[in-house]
Amino acid sequence: MPNPDRPLRKLGFLTIGLFDPADPAAGHRSTLEIIELGEKLGFDSAWLRHRHLQFGISSPIAVMAAASQRTSRIELGTAVTPLGWENPLRLAEDLATVDVLSGGRINPGLSVGEPMNYDTVKHELYPDSADAEDFSYARVERLARLVAGEKVREFSGKQGVVEEFSNRVEPHSPGLRDRLWYGAASLKSAVWAGTNGFNLLSSSVIFPEEGQDPDFAQIQQSQIMAFREAAPAGQAARVSQGLVVIPTDSASNAQREKYQRYVDERTPRTKTPQGPKRVMFAQDLIGTSDQIAEQLYAHKGFQEVDEVAFALPFSFEHGDYVQILTDIAEKLGPALGWSAHRE
């Protein structure tokens, strides 16, 4: 059980931002309204998934820019941006721009690796360099250096009458480097993130080590502990856990039935490791806030954190998200010792 003297410090939520391809604006407006609601309910952070060539948010940085102008306090993050699709220098410029506009509220979550279904898109994504692209940790290391303000080149100063040039990414946003997160699902990635000064996003997907017992919570706990052992900040290194939670306190009977069907359809995949990489999925937590809190208190991964970004289920309606977020803020959060931050 978590120490009662260490209540949940930060409460956030994560959304994929789905939309109808025939009317994409409506889905994006819904996402912005959900973020505004999150701030009103006192959430500490709102996080956006990053989806390419799907009917979810493909440009969370643009959405964060819009959200930053509708809100004043809530932190905004990505969980996660796959860097295989990005040019680190251009991404550093975009992130710093939105961070400046938001008043220093951006929390970029990142990952590396070959883009999903790379063979189907590499001819458009990298037509001249598809086989030479480096999708290793070096890509995120480069982004971190650029965000931190390290030199891009030696050239700087005035050229011509009015053109002024910099030798670093502009704008520079002090403090943004400290708010970079890495989405790690393996022990190797967790240790790397700690060693290299990133915060850790630990979600509902993990990869166990060879021979490790298939106990999701125990594996997640071991990864978080290894991260902190490797991190310069030690036990003070920030970790956010992201599980799917569906409180039903104020849900209608129809909503409860729909939510339960959703969980029942997804539960079989949580029983054993899946696929050649033996990926493991956490079980969705559904029930009253008191019931979910009891399950979280017994969860070894949750016992290691004091901040969370609970994931909203996919494919629900706007009204469902309003109900779930309201119950999280008004019921589940307080049951975990969290206090809302209201204006």
- Which domains occur in the chain, in start order? 10-335 (3.20.20.30)
329 to 6, 50, 122, 158, 333: CA distances (angstroms):
18, 24, 42, 52, 5
Q: What is the pLDDT of residue 301?
A: 97
Residue 161 gets which letter from DSSP? T
Nearest to 224 by CA among 199, 246, 244: 199
247 phi/psi in degrees, rounded to 5: -70, 145
308 phi/psi in degrees, rounded to 5: -135, 160
Q: Determine the average pLDDT of the residues in 29-44.
A: 98
Residue 3 has pLDDT above 90, yes or no: no
**Percent with pLDDT over 70 in the chain:** 98
Q: What single letter denotes the amino acid at residue 214?
A: P
Q: Which two tokens stand for residue 106?
A: 């951006």
Residue 341 has pLDDT above 90, yes or no: no
Least confident of 2-6, 123-127, 136-140: 2-6
Sign of CA dihedral 87, 88, 93, 96: positive
- Rounded to two decimals, what is the model's pTM? 0.96
CB 306 within 8 A of CB 4: no
Higher pLDDT, 343 or 29: 29
CA distance 113 to 91: 16
CB 185 within 8 A of CB 216: no
> pLDDT by residue (tens digit) across 200-247?
999 999 999 988 889 999 999 999 999 999 999 999 999 999 999 999
| Bridge partners of residue 279, in order along the sequence | 274
For residue 203, count other CB atoms closer than 10 A to its CB. Answer: 22
Least confident of 11-15, 58-62, 174-178, 271-275: 271-275
